[in-house]
């Protein structure tokens, strides 16, 4: 099983008169690089937002991790483009 891959971001729950909201903050360049590295074979970036046991140093109440689960397989998917390429069912030694 792969270890969790965390997205470097701010994730804080905020209580309002309309209920609880989750505020997420990302550095755009970091988010783009993370998305490009970890997008699945269909081009999606699946993330999981989960509550932390204790608030973080800057008050973060949640963490954001890469969701690598593959439906029906019972296991995690490759997490990098290289791992996806290596796990491809096609012949990766093709000359083109």
Quick: pLDDT tens for 20-67.
999 999 999 999 999 999 998 899 999 999 999 999 999 999 999 999
Domain ranges of the chain: 9-86
What's the pTM?
A: 0.70
Confidence of residue 74 (pLDDT cuts 50, 70, 90): low
Provide, rounded to the nearest whole percent, the portion of the chain with pLDDT above 70.
Answer: 73
Phi, psi of 78 (to 5 degrees): -60, 145
Strand-pairing partners, residue 15, are 20
Taking only Cα atoms into account, the Rg of the chain, rounded to an integer number of angstroms, comes to 17
The residue count for the chain:
96
Would you say the C-alpha torsion 33, 34, 39, 44 has a positive or negative sign? negative
């Amino acid at each position: 099983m792969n270890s969790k891959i965390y997205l470097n971001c701010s994730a804080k729950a905020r209580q309002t008169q309309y209920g609880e909201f989750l505020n997420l903050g990302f550095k755009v360049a970091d988010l783009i690089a993370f998305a490009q590295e970890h997008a699945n074979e269909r081009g999606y970036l699946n993330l999981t937002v989960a509550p932390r046991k204790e608030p973080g140093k800057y008050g973060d109440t949640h963490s954001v991790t890469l969701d690598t689960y593959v439906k029906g397989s019972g296991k995690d998917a490759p997490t990098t483009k290289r791992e996806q390429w290596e796990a491809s069912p096609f012949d990766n030694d093709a000359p083109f």
